[in-house]
Amino acid sequence: MATERVTISGNVTRRRIAAGSKSDRVGVVLDDGAGRIFTLRRAGGNPFSDAAMDELVGKTITGTGIVTDSHFIMDRWEVIPGARKSS
């Protein structure tokens, strides 16, 4: 589990998260294009439903925060203008 701050860029989409568990849901994820997909969270935000993360769906972003397991908990992000939209 990393505790250092990292910056990751990628496409934001919706995907099934935690299939088969009590937390099974469709959530917001960040696909970095290198085979890594992170459940996207905002530091201090609701981990299950966050309007700020919902607004990023379909956009390409660069975010800064920490990675814990398969979660990317961001405290800063920037939408990359003119980037190809995710489907």
Extents of the domains making up the chain: 6-79
Whether pLDDT at 76 is above 60: yes
pLDDT in tens, 22-51: 877 889 999 999 999 999 999 999 888 899
Question: How far is it, in rounded angstroms, from Cα 63 to Cα 33?
Answer: 14
What CATH code would you report for 6-79?
Answer: 2.40.50.430
| Closest among 6, 21, 17, 20 to 67, alpha carbons compared | 6
> Average of pLDDT values for 72-82?
94
